[in-house]
Each structure stands twice: as structure tokens, then as C-alpha cells.
Amino acid sequence: MSLEAQVFSVLAENAELFTESCAESRAFLAVEQFKFRELVSVVMSLTYSAYVQHQQGLIDDEVWQAYENGMFSRLRQPGFSAAWQTTKTSYPKSFQDSVAEGASKAS
């Protein structure tokens, strides 16, 4: 819960950049692109942590489903999805595959 609160705080502090970048509504400076990719990584790292805990039986299916729902909601946004494509190789293949499989079912 502490990590989740930190992630939400970072997103709130960068709300304008995050929401505009998710929607790809304007041109972005290189530093803004970097910040946005890092914000996407923060969100996906939180989701990966939940994924690992779910795989280890530490959180139940319903909690994992809530994380998945949030992730897929964000992945439907073009900017978030594009940033994920550039950062996903930082995560294990099993997580990448799970995201891809779930995203195809969610669309």
C-alpha cells in the first residue's frame, strides 16, 4: 500500500504532463518525453509488483484483477501504450506476455 500511495502521489504531482502525454495531445520536449516514460515505468513497476505477488499467491485474484483493470485502462490511451512499447523490455518476458495477452482480451 505504501508503494501504491507513492505512485499515486508521483502521478498527481505530474498530472498535467501525464494526462496530456497519455492522450498525445501536443508536441513534447525531450525532457517531457523522458519524464513521461519514467511515469509509465512507475505505473508498470507497481503493476509488476502486484503481478509477482499474485503469481506467488500473496494477493488474490480479485485484487490482481483491479490492478489489471487499471493497467488496461491506461494501455488503451495511445501515449501510454506507445511509452510502454519503449520500456517493456525492462520487465521479464513473463510479465510482457501477460500484459500482451490481457490487452488483446481487454480490447
Contact criterion met (CB below 8 Å) for 76 and 84:
no
Q: Largest Cα–Cα distance in the chain? A: 43
Q: What is the pLDDT of residue 107?
A: 62
Residues 39, 80: Cα–Cα separation, whole Å = 9
pLDDT tens string for the chain (107 positions)?
678 899 999 999 999 999 999 987 667 889 999 999 999 999 999 999 999 999 999 999 999 999 999 999 999 999 999 999 999 999 999 999 999 998 877 66
Q: What is the pTM of this model?
A: 0.89
Residues 55, 15: Cα–Cα separation, whole Å = 31
- Residue spans per domain, the chain: 2-106
